[in-house]
Structure 1
Protein backbone atom coordinates (compact mmCIF):
# COMPACT_ATOMS: atom_id res chain seq x y z
CA UNK A 1 0.00 0.00 0.00
CA UNK A 2 1.49 3.39 -0.96
CA UNK A 3 1.95 6.09 1.67
CA UNK A 4 2.89 9.76 1.54
CA UNK A 5 5.71 11.01 3.75
CA UNK A 6 4.97 14.63 4.65
CA UNK A 7 7.01 17.50 6.07
CA UNK A 8 5.39 20.84 6.92
CA UNK A 9 8.19 23.38 7.28
CA UNK A 10 8.23 27.10 7.96
CA UNK A 11 8.54 27.93 4.27
CA UNK A 12 7.73 24.71 2.41
CA UNK A 13 5.47 21.69 2.36
CA UNK A 14 7.42 18.68 1.06
CA UNK A 15 6.04 15.26 0.29
CA UNK A 16 7.13 11.95 -1.21
CA UNK A 17 4.97 8.99 -2.16
CA UNK A 18 6.53 5.60 -1.46
CA UNK A 19 5.31 2.10 -2.16
CA UNK A 20 6.70 -1.37 -1.60
CA UNK A 21 7.25 -3.56 -4.65
CA UNK A 22 8.42 -7.01 -3.66
CA UNK A 23 11.41 -6.36 -1.41
CA UNK A 24 12.09 -2.77 -2.49
CA UNK A 25 10.75 0.65 -1.52
CA UNK A 26 10.00 2.70 -4.64
CA UNK A 27 9.71 6.49 -4.86
CA UNK A 28 6.70 6.95 -7.12
CA UNK A 29 5.95 10.67 -6.74
CA UNK A 30 7.11 13.79 -4.93
CA UNK A 31 6.36 17.48 -4.68
CA UNK A 32 7.31 20.75 -2.96
CA UNK A 33 5.01 23.67 -2.22
CA UNK A 34 6.78 26.95 -1.52
CA UNK A 35 4.70 29.19 0.67
CA UNK A 36 6.24 31.95 2.84
CA UNK A 37 3.06 32.22 4.96
CA UNK A 38 3.29 28.79 6.57
CA UNK A 39 3.62 28.77 10.36
CA UNK A 40 2.02 26.80 13.14
CA UNK A 41 0.99 27.98 16.58
CA UNK A 42 -0.89 25.63 18.94
CA UNK A 43 -3.21 28.51 19.87
CA UNK A 44 -4.09 29.76 16.37
CA UNK A 45 -7.20 28.48 14.59
CA UNK A 46 -6.29 30.52 11.52
CA UNK A 47 -3.18 28.36 11.06
CA UNK A 48 -5.34 25.26 10.69
CA UNK A 49 -7.49 26.83 7.99
CA UNK A 50 -4.51 28.28 6.09
CA UNK A 51 -2.27 25.21 6.16
CA UNK A 52 -4.99 22.60 5.61
CA UNK A 53 -6.28 24.52 2.59
CA UNK A 54 -2.80 24.84 1.09
CA UNK A 55 -2.09 21.19 1.84
CA UNK A 56 -5.32 19.94 0.24
CA UNK A 57 -4.60 21.89 -2.97
CA UNK A 58 -0.99 20.73 -2.99
CA UNK A 59 -1.88 17.04 -2.67
CA UNK A 60 -4.52 17.36 -5.38
CA UNK A 61 -2.18 19.19 -7.78
CA UNK A 62 0.63 16.67 -7.20
CA UNK A 63 -1.68 13.74 -8.05
CA UNK A 64 -0.71 11.46 -5.20
CA UNK A 65 -2.47 8.11 -5.47
CA UNK A 66 -3.20 7.77 -1.75
CA UNK A 67 -4.47 9.87 1.13
CA UNK A 68 -2.51 7.87 3.74
CA UNK A 69 0.13 10.07 5.36
CA UNK A 70 3.09 9.70 7.71
CA UNK A 71 4.02 13.10 9.12
CA UNK A 72 7.47 14.17 10.30
CA UNK A 73 7.35 16.17 13.54
CA UNK A 74 9.70 19.11 13.99
CA UNK A 75 12.49 18.69 16.55
CA UNK A 76 11.35 21.76 18.52
CA UNK A 77 8.16 19.92 19.52
CA UNK A 78 9.90 16.71 20.62
CA UNK A 79 11.84 15.68 23.73
CA UNK A 80 14.07 12.67 23.18
CA UNK A 81 16.69 11.02 25.35
CA UNK A 82 18.39 7.67 25.92
CA UNK A 83 18.40 6.70 29.60
CA UNK A 84 20.14 3.88 31.46
CA UNK A 85 17.99 1.67 33.71
CA UNK A 86 18.50 -1.55 35.65
CA UNK A 87 17.68 -4.59 33.53
CA UNK A 88 13.98 -5.40 33.95
CA UNK A 89 11.14 -7.21 32.23
CA UNK A 90 8.92 -5.55 29.63
CA UNK A 91 6.08 -5.48 32.17
CA UNK A 92 8.27 -3.78 34.78
CA UNK A 93 9.54 -1.28 32.22
CA UNK A 94 6.02 -0.39 31.11
CA UNK A 95 4.93 0.30 34.69
CA UNK A 96 7.98 2.41 35.59
CA UNK A 97 8.73 4.33 32.39
CA UNK A 98 6.50 7.31 33.24
CA UNK A 99 8.22 7.79 36.58
CA UNK A 100 11.63 7.63 34.92
CA UNK A 101 10.58 9.96 32.10
CA UNK A 102 9.41 12.65 34.53
CA UNK A 103 13.05 13.25 35.43
CA UNK A 104 13.97 14.16 31.85
CA UNK A 105 10.86 15.68 30.22
CA UNK A 106 10.69 19.43 31.02
CA UNK A 107 6.88 19.70 30.87
CA UNK A 108 4.17 17.71 32.71
CA UNK A 109 3.62 14.24 31.27
CA UNK A 110 -0.14 14.85 30.98
CA UNK A 111 0.74 17.38 28.26
CA UNK A 112 2.72 14.96 26.08
CA UNK A 113 2.37 11.66 24.24
CA UNK A 114 5.13 9.38 25.50
CA UNK A 115 6.69 6.39 23.75
CA UNK A 116 9.81 4.34 24.37
CA UNK A 117 11.93 1.54 22.93
CA UNK A 118 14.89 -0.51 24.08
CA UNK A 119 18.15 0.25 22.29
CA UNK A 120 21.55 -1.41 22.18
CA UNK A 121 23.14 -1.74 25.62
CA UNK A 122 26.59 -0.50 26.57
CA UNK A 123 28.72 -3.63 27.23
CA UNK A 124 30.69 -1.75 29.89
CA UNK A 125 27.56 -1.20 32.02
CA UNK A 126 26.77 -4.57 33.55
CA UNK A 127 23.20 -5.03 34.76
CA UNK A 128 22.00 -1.97 32.85
CA UNK A 129 19.76 -1.49 29.81
CA UNK A 130 19.38 1.52 27.52
CA UNK A 131 15.93 2.87 26.72
CA UNK A 132 15.08 5.66 24.31
CA UNK A 133 12.20 7.85 25.49
CA UNK A 134 10.37 10.15 23.08
CA UNK A 135 7.75 12.69 24.12
CA UNK A 136 5.80 15.03 21.84
CA UNK A 137 3.60 17.92 22.91
CA UNK A 138 -0.01 16.77 22.79
CA UNK A 139 -1.43 20.14 21.71
CA UNK A 140 0.89 20.21 18.70
CA UNK A 141 0.03 16.62 17.75
CA UNK A 142 -3.69 17.39 17.94
CA UNK A 143 -3.23 20.49 15.79
CA UNK A 144 -1.37 18.55 13.09
CA UNK A 145 -3.96 15.76 13.10
CA UNK A 146 -6.70 18.38 12.68
CA UNK A 147 -4.81 19.93 9.74
CA UNK A 148 -4.40 16.57 8.01
CA UNK A 149 -8.05 15.59 8.44
CA UNK A 150 -9.30 18.96 7.19
CA UNK A 151 -7.05 18.46 4.15
CA UNK A 152 -8.86 15.12 3.56
CA UNK A 153 -5.79 13.10 4.49
CA UNK A 154 -5.54 10.03 6.74
CA UNK A 155 -2.78 10.28 9.39
CA UNK A 156 -1.24 6.81 9.73
CA UNK A 157 1.69 7.85 11.92
CA UNK A 158 3.51 10.88 13.28
CA UNK A 159 7.17 10.55 14.20
CA UNK A 160 10.07 12.90 14.97
CA UNK A 161 12.03 14.01 11.93
CA UNK A 162 15.23 13.05 13.75
CA UNK A 163 14.25 9.37 13.93
CA UNK A 164 13.19 9.36 10.28
CA UNK A 165 16.49 10.94 9.23
CA UNK A 166 18.43 8.50 11.41
CA UNK A 167 16.95 5.61 9.46
CA UNK A 168 18.77 6.89 6.38
CA UNK A 169 21.85 5.14 7.79
CA UNK A 170 20.01 1.87 8.37
CA UNK A 171 21.51 0.01 5.41
CA UNK A 172 24.83 1.80 5.11
CA UNK A 173 28.32 0.93 6.39
CA UNK A 174 28.04 3.83 8.86
CA UNK A 175 25.12 2.27 10.76
CA UNK A 176 27.09 0.13 13.29
CA UNK A 177 29.56 2.96 13.98
CA UNK A 178 29.09 6.64 14.70
CA UNK A 179 27.81 9.14 12.15
CA UNK A 180 26.48 12.69 12.18
CA UNK A 181 23.69 14.07 10.00
CA UNK A 182 23.29 17.81 9.34
CA UNK A 183 19.84 18.88 8.14
CA UNK A 184 19.94 22.55 7.17
CA UNK A 185 16.50 24.15 6.97
CA UNK A 186 15.25 27.67 6.29
CA UNK A 187 15.88 29.04 9.79
CA UNK A 188 17.37 26.12 11.78
CA UNK A 189 20.02 23.45 11.36
CA UNK A 190 19.40 20.05 12.92
CA UNK A 191 22.37 18.05 14.20
CA UNK A 192 21.76 14.31 14.63
CA UNK A 193 24.33 11.89 16.01
CA UNK A 194 23.63 8.20 15.33
CA UNK A 195 25.35 5.12 16.67
CA UNK A 196 24.47 1.46 16.37
CA UNK A 197 21.42 2.22 14.25
CA UNK A 198 19.83 4.59 16.80
CA UNK A 199 19.65 8.36 17.26
CA UNK A 200 21.83 9.16 20.28
CA UNK A 201 21.89 12.96 20.31
CA UNK A 202 20.02 15.80 18.63
CA UNK A 203 20.37 19.54 18.73
CA UNK A 204 18.64 22.30 16.76
CA UNK A 205 20.59 25.53 16.31
CA UNK A 206 19.04 28.78 15.00
CA UNK A 207 21.15 28.97 11.83
CA UNK A 208 19.60 28.17 8.46
CA UNK A 209 20.52 28.21 4.81
Structure 2
Protein backbone atom coordinates (compact mmCIF):
# COMPACT_ATOMS: atom_id res chain seq x y z
CA UNK A 1 0.00 0.00 0.00
CA UNK A 2 1.39 3.40 -0.96
CA UNK A 3 1.53 5.95 1.84
CA UNK A 4 1.52 8.70 -0.78
CA UNK A 5 -1.75 7.61 -2.39
CA UNK A 6 -4.35 10.30 -1.62
CA UNK A 7 -7.06 9.03 0.70
CA UNK A 8 -10.52 9.09 -0.84
CA UNK A 9 -12.89 11.56 0.79
CA UNK A 10 -15.86 9.55 2.10
CA UNK A 11 -19.29 10.57 0.82
CA UNK A 12 -22.35 10.94 3.01
CA UNK A 13 -25.11 8.72 1.67
CA UNK A 14 -28.26 10.87 1.83
CA UNK A 15 -31.63 9.27 1.07
CA UNK A 16 -34.50 11.75 0.70
CA UNK A 17 -37.66 9.66 1.07
CA UNK A 18 -41.29 10.77 1.34
CA UNK A 19 -41.20 11.22 5.13
CA UNK A 20 -37.57 11.53 6.24
CA UNK A 21 -33.96 12.24 5.40
CA UNK A 22 -31.64 9.33 6.16
CA UNK A 23 -27.89 9.83 6.35
CA UNK A 24 -25.07 7.27 6.56
CA UNK A 25 -21.31 7.85 6.68
CA UNK A 26 -18.93 4.89 6.27
CA UNK A 27 -15.17 4.48 6.34
CA UNK A 28 -13.08 1.62 4.96
CA UNK A 29 -10.00 -0.16 6.24
CA UNK A 30 -8.85 -2.87 3.86
CA UNK A 31 -11.90 -4.99 3.06
CA UNK A 32 -13.72 -3.90 6.23
CA UNK A 33 -16.23 -1.07 6.65
CA UNK A 34 -17.11 0.99 9.69
CA UNK A 35 -20.23 3.04 10.40
CA UNK A 36 -18.90 6.47 11.38
CA UNK A 37 -22.21 8.32 11.68
CA UNK A 38 -25.86 8.07 10.82
CA UNK A 39 -29.12 9.95 11.36
CA UNK A 40 -32.80 9.72 10.51
CA UNK A 41 -34.67 13.03 10.57
CA UNK A 42 -38.41 13.44 9.80
CA UNK A 43 -39.43 15.78 6.97
CA UNK A 44 -42.22 18.36 7.21
CA UNK A 45 -45.50 16.82 5.99
CA UNK A 46 -45.92 17.00 2.19
CA UNK A 47 -42.43 18.43 1.58
CA UNK A 48 -41.82 15.31 -0.54
CA UNK A 49 -44.81 13.79 -2.34
CA UNK A 50 -44.31 10.33 -3.91
CA UNK A 51 -40.54 11.01 -4.02
CA UNK A 52 -40.95 14.40 -5.75
CA UNK A 53 -39.52 17.29 -3.72
CA UNK A 54 -42.24 19.94 -3.30
CA UNK A 55 -40.53 22.09 -0.62
CA UNK A 56 -36.80 22.52 -1.30
CA UNK A 57 -36.25 24.76 1.76
CA UNK A 58 -38.00 22.27 4.06
CA UNK A 59 -35.84 19.42 2.73
CA UNK A 60 -32.65 21.50 3.07
CA UNK A 61 -33.50 22.38 6.69
CA UNK A 62 -34.08 18.67 7.42
CA UNK A 63 -30.72 17.73 5.86
CA UNK A 64 -29.06 20.33 8.12
CA UNK A 65 -30.72 18.80 11.21
CA UNK A 66 -29.61 15.31 10.10
CA UNK A 67 -26.01 16.52 9.68
CA UNK A 68 -26.09 18.02 13.19
CA UNK A 69 -27.65 14.90 14.72
CA UNK A 70 -25.06 12.66 13.02
CA UNK A 71 -22.25 14.90 14.29
CA UNK A 72 -20.39 14.76 10.99
CA UNK A 73 -18.23 17.48 9.47
CA UNK A 74 -18.20 15.84 6.07
CA UNK A 75 -19.55 18.16 3.35
CA UNK A 76 -19.55 15.79 0.35
CA UNK A 77 -22.49 13.54 -0.43
CA UNK A 78 -24.13 11.06 -2.78
CA UNK A 79 -27.84 11.47 -3.56
CA UNK A 80 -30.32 9.35 -5.51
CA UNK A 81 -33.30 9.91 -7.78
CA UNK A 82 -36.29 7.56 -7.63
CA UNK A 83 -36.08 4.52 -9.90
CA UNK A 84 -39.47 5.46 -11.38
CA UNK A 85 -37.98 8.79 -12.56
CA UNK A 86 -35.24 7.05 -14.55
CA UNK A 87 -35.07 5.42 -17.98
CA UNK A 88 -32.38 2.75 -18.24
CA UNK A 89 -31.52 0.72 -21.30
CA UNK A 90 -28.82 -1.76 -22.23
CA UNK A 91 -27.40 -0.92 -25.66
CA UNK A 92 -24.61 -2.49 -27.72
CA UNK A 93 -21.81 -0.64 -29.48
CA UNK A 94 -18.98 -1.92 -31.68
CA UNK A 95 -16.04 -3.05 -29.52
CA UNK A 96 -13.72 -1.14 -31.88
CA UNK A 97 -15.29 2.25 -31.01
CA UNK A 98 -12.77 4.82 -29.77
CA UNK A 99 -13.38 6.33 -26.34
CA UNK A 100 -13.48 9.82 -27.86
CA UNK A 101 -16.35 8.77 -30.17
CA UNK A 102 -18.33 6.85 -27.59
CA UNK A 103 -20.18 9.78 -26.02
CA UNK A 104 -21.41 11.05 -29.39
CA UNK A 105 -22.59 7.60 -30.41
CA UNK A 106 -24.40 7.15 -27.11
CA UNK A 107 -26.19 10.49 -27.61
CA UNK A 108 -27.43 9.22 -30.98
CA UNK A 109 -28.59 5.92 -29.42
CA UNK A 110 -30.21 7.73 -26.48
CA UNK A 111 -32.35 9.82 -28.80
CA UNK A 112 -34.19 6.63 -29.85
CA UNK A 113 -35.13 5.58 -26.32
CA UNK A 114 -35.75 8.82 -24.39
CA UNK A 115 -39.15 10.50 -24.90
CA UNK A 116 -37.76 13.98 -24.06
CA UNK A 117 -35.44 16.41 -25.80
CA UNK A 118 -31.87 15.48 -24.83
CA UNK A 119 -31.26 19.00 -23.49
CA UNK A 120 -34.00 18.30 -20.88
CA UNK A 121 -32.31 15.21 -19.44
CA UNK A 122 -29.25 14.25 -17.42
CA UNK A 123 -27.61 11.33 -19.19
CA UNK A 124 -24.94 8.90 -18.03
CA UNK A 125 -23.59 5.56 -19.18
CA UNK A 126 -21.42 2.72 -17.96
CA UNK A 127 -19.55 0.23 -20.14
CA UNK A 128 -20.48 -3.21 -18.80
CA UNK A 129 -17.99 -5.15 -20.94
CA UNK A 130 -17.98 -7.37 -24.03
CA UNK A 131 -21.35 -8.82 -25.07
CA UNK A 132 -21.72 -12.45 -24.00
CA UNK A 133 -21.12 -14.66 -27.02
CA UNK A 134 -20.00 -11.74 -29.23
CA UNK A 135 -16.58 -10.19 -28.52
CA UNK A 136 -17.08 -7.71 -31.39
CA UNK A 137 -19.64 -5.64 -29.42
CA UNK A 138 -19.77 -3.95 -26.01
CA UNK A 139 -22.74 -3.86 -23.63
CA UNK A 140 -23.35 -0.34 -22.35
CA UNK A 141 -25.87 0.68 -19.67
CA UNK A 142 -27.58 3.95 -20.56
CA UNK A 143 -29.32 5.87 -17.74
CA UNK A 144 -31.29 9.10 -18.10
CA UNK A 145 -33.55 11.23 -15.92
CA UNK A 146 -35.22 14.58 -16.52
CA UNK A 147 -32.87 17.33 -15.38
CA UNK A 148 -35.44 18.75 -12.94
CA UNK A 149 -35.36 15.47 -10.91
CA UNK A 150 -31.62 15.88 -10.44
CA UNK A 151 -31.54 19.67 -10.04
CA UNK A 152 -34.13 19.82 -7.24
CA UNK A 153 -32.10 17.33 -5.15
CA UNK A 154 -28.83 19.11 -5.86
CA UNK A 155 -30.54 22.41 -4.96
CA UNK A 156 -31.66 21.06 -1.57
CA UNK A 157 -28.14 19.80 -0.82
CA UNK A 158 -26.60 23.14 -1.85
CA UNK A 159 -29.02 25.01 0.46
CA UNK A 160 -28.01 22.67 3.28
CA UNK A 161 -24.34 23.57 2.68
CA UNK A 162 -23.16 20.23 1.31
CA UNK A 163 -21.73 19.29 -2.09
CA UNK A 164 -23.26 16.45 -4.16
CA UNK A 165 -20.45 14.50 -5.85
CA UNK A 166 -22.65 11.63 -7.10
CA UNK A 167 -26.29 11.40 -8.14
CA UNK A 168 -27.27 7.73 -8.28
CA UNK A 169 -30.52 5.81 -8.82
CA UNK A 170 -32.32 4.32 -5.81
CA UNK A 171 -32.44 0.80 -7.27
CA UNK A 172 -28.65 0.81 -7.87
CA UNK A 173 -28.05 2.03 -4.31
CA UNK A 174 -30.32 -0.81 -3.11
CA UNK A 175 -28.27 -3.27 -5.19
CA UNK A 176 -25.04 -2.01 -3.56
CA UNK A 177 -26.49 -2.40 -0.06
CA UNK A 178 -28.09 -5.79 -0.81
CA UNK A 179 -24.66 -7.18 -1.73
CA UNK A 180 -23.60 -6.31 1.86
CA UNK A 181 -26.43 -8.58 3.08
CA UNK A 182 -25.19 -11.58 1.06
CA UNK A 183 -24.46 -13.65 4.19
CA UNK A 184 -28.26 -13.74 4.71
CA UNK A 185 -28.85 -15.35 1.28
CA UNK A 186 -28.64 -19.02 0.30
CA UNK A 187 -25.11 -19.61 -1.06
CA UNK A 188 -24.46 -15.87 -0.55
CA UNK A 189 -26.70 -15.14 -3.56
CA UNK A 190 -24.42 -16.85 -6.11
CA UNK A 191 -26.62 -17.91 -9.02
CA UNK A 192 -29.72 -17.06 -6.97
CA UNK A 193 -32.76 -14.82 -7.48
CA UNK A 194 -33.12 -12.32 -4.61
CA UNK A 195 -36.14 -10.01 -4.33
CA UNK A 196 -35.44 -6.88 -2.25
CA UNK A 197 -38.82 -5.45 -1.22
CA UNK A 198 -38.51 -1.95 0.29
CA UNK A 199 -41.72 -0.95 2.11
CA UNK A 200 -41.39 2.70 3.14
CA UNK A 201 -43.90 5.18 4.50
CA UNK A 202 -45.79 5.87 1.26
CA UNK A 203 -44.07 3.83 -1.49
CA UNK A 204 -43.05 0.22 -1.93
CA UNK A 205 -40.38 -0.79 -4.40
CA UNK A 206 -39.10 -4.17 -5.54
CA UNK A 207 -35.59 -4.69 -6.91
CA UNK A 208 -34.83 -8.21 -8.17
CA UNK A 209 -31.21 -9.34 -8.33
CA UNK A 210 -30.30 -12.37 -10.41
CA UNK A 211 -26.79 -13.55 -9.55
CA UNK A 212 -26.12 -10.14 -7.97
CA UNK A 213 -27.29 -7.95 -10.89
CA UNK A 214 -30.57 -6.03 -11.23
CA UNK A 215 -33.04 -7.54 -13.69
CA UNK A 216 -36.33 -5.98 -12.57
CA UNK A 217 -37.63 -2.96 -10.63
CA UNK A 218 -41.10 -1.62 -9.89
CA UNK A 219 -42.64 0.94 -7.50
CA UNK A 220 -46.20 1.43 -6.27
CA UNK A 221 -47.94 3.52 -3.60
CA UNK A 222 -48.25 1.50 -0.37
CA UNK A 223 -46.54 1.91 2.98
CA UNK A 224 -46.49 2.45 6.71
CA UNK A 225 -48.43 5.70 6.46
CA UNK A 226 -51.56 3.54 6.11
CA UNK A 227 -50.83 1.97 9.51
CA UNK A 228 -50.26 5.40 11.08
CA UNK A 229 -53.59 6.59 9.65
CA UNK A 230 -55.35 3.48 11.03
CA UNK A 231 -53.90 4.30 14.48
CA UNK A 232 -55.11 7.93 14.17
CA UNK A 233 -58.66 6.87 13.36
CA UNK A 234 -58.82 4.07 15.93
CA UNK A 235 -57.44 5.99 18.90
CA UNK A 236 -58.34 9.61 18.06
CA UNK A 237 -54.73 10.81 17.77
CA UNK A 238 -53.07 13.38 15.51
CA UNK A 239 -50.81 12.07 12.74
CA UNK A 240 -47.66 12.99 14.72
CA UNK A 241 -49.02 11.44 17.94
CA UNK A 242 -49.95 8.25 16.08
CA UNK A 243 -46.49 8.02 14.51
CA UNK A 244 -44.79 8.49 17.88
CA UNK A 245 -47.07 5.97 19.63
CA UNK A 246 -46.38 3.44 16.84
CA UNK A 247 -42.62 3.94 17.11
CA UNK A 248 -42.49 3.80 20.92
CA UNK A 249 -45.05 1.00 21.34
CA UNK A 250 -47.36 3.13 23.51
CA UNK A 251 -50.69 1.75 22.29
CA UNK A 252 -53.57 -0.16 23.93
CA UNK A 253 -53.56 -3.97 24.14
CA UNK A 254 -56.04 -4.34 21.28
CA UNK A 255 -53.62 -2.58 18.89
CA UNK A 256 -51.77 -5.75 17.87
CA UNK A 257 -54.72 -8.03 17.04
CA UNK A 258 -57.09 -5.36 15.72
CA UNK A 259 -54.79 -2.87 13.92
CA UNK A 260 -51.25 -4.23 13.45
CA UNK A 261 -52.11 -7.79 12.36
CA UNK A 262 -54.52 -6.63 9.59
CA UNK A 263 -51.79 -4.26 8.32
CA UNK A 264 -49.21 -7.10 8.32
CA UNK A 265 -51.72 -9.21 6.39
CA UNK A 266 -52.14 -6.37 3.86
CA UNK A 267 -48.34 -6.00 3.56
CA UNK A 268 -47.94 -9.73 2.88
CA UNK A 269 -50.57 -9.45 0.14
CA UNK A 270 -48.71 -6.48 -1.38
CA UNK A 271 -45.41 -8.43 -1.44
CA UNK A 272 -47.26 -11.31 -3.11
CA UNK A 273 -48.66 -8.92 -5.77
CA UNK A 274 -45.22 -7.44 -6.48
CA UNK A 275 -43.78 -10.92 -6.97
CA UNK A 276 -46.65 -11.85 -9.31
CA UNK A 277 -45.78 -8.82 -11.48
CA UNK A 278 -42.16 -10.00 -11.55
CA UNK A 279 -43.10 -13.60 -12.41
CA UNK A 280 -45.31 -12.36 -15.26
CA UNK A 281 -42.36 -10.35 -16.67
CA UNK A 282 -39.70 -13.07 -16.28
CA UNK A 283 -39.20 -16.79 -16.77
CA UNK A 284 -39.23 -17.38 -12.97
CA UNK A 285 -42.13 -18.59 -10.84
CA UNK A 286 -40.37 -18.32 -7.49
CA UNK A 287 -37.45 -16.48 -5.88
CA UNK A 288 -34.71 -17.94 -3.70
CA UNK A 289 -34.96 -15.27 -1.00
CA UNK A 290 -37.07 -12.22 -0.10
CA UNK A 291 -35.09 -9.46 1.63
CA UNK A 292 -37.37 -6.97 3.42
CA UNK A 293 -36.17 -3.37 3.62
CA UNK A 294 -37.71 0.00 4.49
CA UNK A 295 -39.23 1.13 7.79
CA UNK A 296 -42.03 -1.48 7.68
CA UNK A 297 -39.48 -4.32 7.63
CA UNK A 298 -38.90 -3.59 11.34
CA UNK A 299 -42.45 -4.67 12.27
CA UNK A 300 -41.96 -7.67 14.59
CA UNK A 301 -42.74 -10.99 12.92
CA UNK A 302 -43.42 -9.60 9.43
CA UNK A 303 -40.65 -11.74 7.88
CA UNK A 304 -42.03 -14.94 9.43
CA UNK A 305 -45.57 -14.09 8.25
CA UNK A 306 -44.45 -13.43 4.65
CA UNK A 307 -42.27 -16.57 4.59
CA UNK A 308 -45.17 -18.69 5.84
CA UNK A 309 -47.74 -17.13 3.46
CA UNK A 310 -45.59 -17.14 0.33
CA UNK A 311 -43.52 -20.25 1.01
CA UNK A 312 -40.25 -18.46 0.19
CA UNK A 313 -37.33 -17.84 2.61
CA UNK A 314 -37.63 -14.27 3.94
CA UNK A 315 -35.43 -12.09 6.14
CA UNK A 316 -34.98 -8.50 7.27
CA UNK A 317 -32.16 -6.47 5.71
CA UNK A 318 -29.17 -5.42 7.78
CA UNK A 319 -26.38 -4.05 5.54
CA UNK A 320 -24.30 -3.25 8.65
CA UNK A 321 -24.15 -6.86 9.91
CA UNK A 322 -20.44 -7.32 9.14
CA UNK A 323 -19.37 -3.73 9.88
CA UNK A 324 -17.73 -2.30 12.97
CA UNK A 325 -19.46 0.69 14.54
CA UNK A 326 -17.89 3.93 15.80
CA UNK A 327 -18.31 4.52 19.53
CA UNK A 328 -20.47 7.62 18.98
CA UNK A 329 -23.06 5.57 17.04
CA UNK A 330 -25.86 3.97 19.08
CA UNK A 331 -25.52 0.34 17.91
CA UNK A 332 -28.95 -0.74 19.17
CA UNK A 333 -30.74 2.11 17.41
CA UNK A 334 -28.71 1.49 14.24
CA UNK A 335 -29.79 -2.16 14.32
CA UNK A 336 -33.49 -1.25 14.50
CA UNK A 337 -33.15 1.45 11.80
CA UNK A 338 -30.97 -0.74 9.52
CA UNK A 339 -33.73 -1.96 7.12
CA UNK A 340 -34.74 1.68 6.43
CA UNK A 341 -31.12 2.70 5.73
CA UNK A 342 -30.52 0.47 2.68
CA UNK A 343 -30.53 3.29 0.11
CA UNK A 344 -28.47 5.65 2.30
CA UNK A 345 -25.96 2.85 2.95
CA UNK A 346 -25.76 1.96 -0.76
CA UNK A 347 -25.10 5.63 -1.54
CA UNK A 348 -22.38 5.86 1.12
CA UNK A 349 -20.73 2.82 -0.56
CA UNK A 350 -20.12 5.04 -3.59
CA UNK A 351 -17.23 6.51 -1.55
CA UNK A 352 -15.20 3.40 -2.36
CA UNK A 353 -15.83 3.03 -6.14
TM bracket, shorter-chain basis: 0.7 to 0.9
Contact 1:72 1:160 in 2 (8 A): yes
Alignment of 1:48-87 (within 5 A): 48-87=56-95
1:194 matches 2:209: yes
How far residue 13 of structure 1 moved from its aligned partner, in angstroms, is: 0.9
Whole-angstrom distance in 1 between the partners of 2:199 and 2:123: 27
Query: Is residue 99 from structure 1 mapped to residue 125 from structure 2 by the alignment?
Result: no
After superposition, the C-alpha distances for 1:109-145 in whole angstroms (9 at most, x for unaligned) are: 1111111112255534574432111112212212211
Which has the higher relative contact order, 1 or 2, with Cα contacts under 8 A spaced 6 or more apart? Answer: 2
More strand by share: 1
User: Is 1:9–1:38's contact at 8 Å kept on the other side of the alignment?
Assistant: no
In the other structure, the counterpart of 2:25 is 17
How many residue pairs match? The answer is 206
Among 135, 157, 175, the residue aligned to 1:166: 175
> What TM-score results when the alignment is normalised by the length of structure 2?
0.52
Q: Which residue of 2 aligns with 1:6?
A: 14
Change (3 A) 1:201 1:103: farther
Secondary structure at 1:49's aligned position in 2?
A: helix
Unaligned runs of 5+ in 1: none
Query: In structure 2, how many angstroms separate the alpha carbons of the residues matched to 1:5 and 1:194?
Result: 22
Q: CA deviation at 1:72?
A: 2.1
Q: TM-score, normalised by structure 1?
A: 0.84
SS in 2 for 1:101: helix
Deviation at 1:98, TM superposition (A): 0.9
1:208 aligned to 2:217? no
Q: Distance in 1 between matches of 2:216 and 2:196?
A: 11
Please state whether the residue corresponding to 1:106 is helix, strand or coil.
Answer: coil
Is the contact made by 1:162 and 1:192 (CA closer than 8 Å) also made in structure 2? Answer: yes
Equivalent residue number for residue 143 of structure 1: 152
Q: Is the 8 A contact 2:95 2:135 kept in 1?
A: no
